[in-house]
Each structure stands twice: as structure tokens, then as C-alpha cells.
Amino acid sequence: MPLSRRARKYAASTGAVFLAVTTLWAVLRVDGSTAAPQAPPTFAATVAGLSERGGYFDTDNLISNERSYLQVVSDLKRRSVRGGAYIGVGPDQNFSYISEVRPAVAFIIDVRRDNLLLHLLFKVLFELSETRIEYLAYLTGRPLPPALNGWKQAPIDRLVGYFDKTAASTDAVAARRQRIEDALRRTGVPLSPEDLQTIAAFHRRFIEDGLSLRFNSTGRPPQLYYPTYRDLLLETDAAGNQANFLAAEESFQFVKSLQSRDRIVPVVGDISGPSALQAVGRAIAARGERLSAFYVSNVEFYLFGQGAYPRFVTNLRGIPRSKGAVLIRSVFGRYSSFGRPGDASQSQLHALDDLIDGYDDGRYRSYGELVRR
């Protein structure tokens, strides 16, 4: 869905990032003594301090259109990509990567301010839900099943079966509406009435379509090859293991723990832009962390088309990263021919050291060279 007028005008500071975002818990004085610890920045201040001017993209992006998104999970395990800091773009496929990588902090950066609003909805649903079946019930407007404890270790197929046969409940939606709005206010992020309407519209799509929700582009009908939310929940990694963050209670609880500590931070920004990704890099450094995984979807395709890829590499170069740090990308169209049969996309891992070195020495000067390496 197109960005609202207010969203297009939205601009957080593009100059100096809020000092609080990159303040260490204790500041070393010139004489070697240590200053009193300073209070960490609030969630809202961090979001505002890291964000830059929002942009436009012609999709609502409520869910992914990348059926192949979990195919890299086996390779993430093999390479022991773990801990540190995570950066990603887009909606909730990030939570599945986060549940595998187990970072200390995660930043979800997207050019669309609507993505920030969507992630605020996800954040408050995590807060209000004790278990993954409660999360799905809140998200889809369905009533809870009886005997909740019996669902904690249920396979994801059983959860999908329950929500597929259970209709949305007007009473359940009405009873939860105020709790959701109150939780949104508790985030501290300034939200106008228009913002709240946008979040409510996003939520209505999940409620009306349920697990049959598909990715949507403005002015174009959903394509048959787009996966449904059901497909994404049931998807497997290359080894055949169900790896969505809602496939296991323990994975959901890890993501919930990060959300409860404000360690999944949505940021408005272009990854090739003037300040947001650079500010995220400084925030990672201030925490003493190093980047372990960066999920970019297929954004690189657009950056090459816009001549903006050099700026992305420059921004990427400034982020402290671990030796084994990787970029996770999704490849579509004629570039995805090496993917899994039947998929419209292919997911890849690319060592960040090789990506940056290869760009610098001229090996990756086109999108084709990058994804067909």
C-alpha cells in the first residue's frame, strides 16, 4: 500500500544521531576515572535517533514473497553464524533469522516508514502474548483454543490446522483492540491518529485473510507463486527441518525476550542512504558488538539499478563485523535459476568480507556478477 502523506513527509534527524544512542554505560574520563553510568536511551529515542527520511516502495510487504527464505538456515548453522548484532529489512521473516542467529541486538531498517509501523504491531503482539499460539491468535483475530498448555510443544502443522479451521472472532478482536492500542502507546514512539489507522489497517489484513494472506504490490494482483502466510509458517530449511520462528516454542520465546528488552529496533532508512545505516553501525560499536548477519532481501538489485550500490558498500564497510559475518540475500527472476525447483526465488549467503573485497577489486560491479559468483 502506498505510504501516507504524513509518512512521506516523515523525517527523523539526518544529522547527528542522538548522543544517547551511542553513549556507553560508563564513560572513561581523560584522567582514567569512570563516570557514573548513564541511563540507556529509551526505545522511542533510539528509533528516532537512528532513523532518516522515509521513502516509497510499491508493496505493502506485510509478509514475505520469498518462499526460499529458510533455505539458508542450514548454511547458517554450518558456518556457525551466531550472536553479535543482526540487521535486516522487511517484515517478520527477520524473526526466523533472528531465532537462528541468536543476536544480542537486532535492527530492522527499511526505507518505508510503514515497515516501522508494522514492526510496532508485531512488537506489541509479542508483549501481549505469552506463547506462540497466543501470538497467532492476536495476529489473526482468532479465539484461543482451550487447554493452552497442551499447545506449547505442538508442531507448527497442528497450530496451522487450528487457525485454518477457526474463523475470526468479532468479540475477540474487539476485546483485544484497546490492549493493542495501549501497548502501542507504551512504546513511546509518537503515533498520530493516521499512524494508528495505518497499523489497524495492516492488522485487519491479517484478520480478514488469516493464514491465506499473500504479499501484495500496488496496482498488481497477488501472483500465484507468492507464498501464503501458511506456506511461510510451514516452510523448511535445506535439510527439511521446519525453521520458522513459530515452528518451536523456544524460538518464539527467544524473539519475545529480545522484544521485551527493546533489542529489536525498527529503523526508517535507506541502506544506501546518508545516515541511518551508518548510525546503526555506530550503535553496534557502542554496544561492543559486531555484525554477524545482514538480511537484504533483493534490495541489492534495486541499488544497482539506481547506481546506489557503491554507497551501500561504503555504509557496510563502516559497520564492525565478525570474521564470519554474512549477507543473506534473495534472488528473483532470471538470476534465480540455481534455486530449488518450483521456487520463484533463491536465497543465498555471501561472506561480507568477500563481498566488500570483491567489490573493491572489481569482481562484483554488476548485480549478475554478484549473485552468480
Residue 89 CA to residue 78 CA, distance in Å, equals: 23
Q: Give the model's pLDDT for residue 58.
A: 64
Closest CA to 268 of 46, 104, 95, 93: 46
What totals of helices (H) and strands (E) does the chain contain, helices first? 16, 6
| Angle in degrees, CA 142, 243, 229, rounded to 5 | 40
Q: Give the model's pLDDT for residue 180.
A: 98
Residue 317 CA to residue 294 CA, distance in Å, equals: 13
Closest CA to 99 of 244, 231, 263: 244
Output 335 or 269, whichever has higher pLDDT.
Answer: 269
Residue 139's Cβ-count burial label (10 Å; 0-12, 13-18, 19+) is: buried
Across 13-17, 30-34, 180-184, 322-326, least confident range: 13-17
The residue whose grid cell reads 514492526 is 119
pLDDT in tens, 86-109: 999 999 999 999 999 999 999 999
Neighbours of 110 (CB within 10 A): 28
Q: Does residue 23 carry a pLDDT above 50?
A: no
Q: Does residue 77 carry a pLDDT above 90?
A: yes
Across 83-97, 323-337, 345-359, least confident range: 323-337
Q: Does residue 292 carry a pLDDT above 70?
A: yes
Closest CA to 358 of 369, 343, 346, 342: 369
Q: What is the mean pLDDT of residues 226-251?
A: 96
Q: Does residue 120 carry a pLDDT above 90?
A: yes
Q: Mean pLDDT over all residues of the chain?
A: 89
Residue 261 CA to residue 169 CA, distance in Å, equals: 31
Residue 245 CA to residue 76 CA, distance in Å, equals: 15
pLDDT in tens, 209-220: 999 999 877 666
pTM: 0.89
pLDDT band of 10, cuts 50, 70, 90: very low
CATH code for the domain defined by 5-124+226-371: 3.40.50
pLDDT band of 338, cuts 50, 70, 90: low
Question: What order of strands is seen across the sheet that includes strand 345-351?
Answer: 264-268, 105-110, 85-88, 291-297, 321-332, 345-351
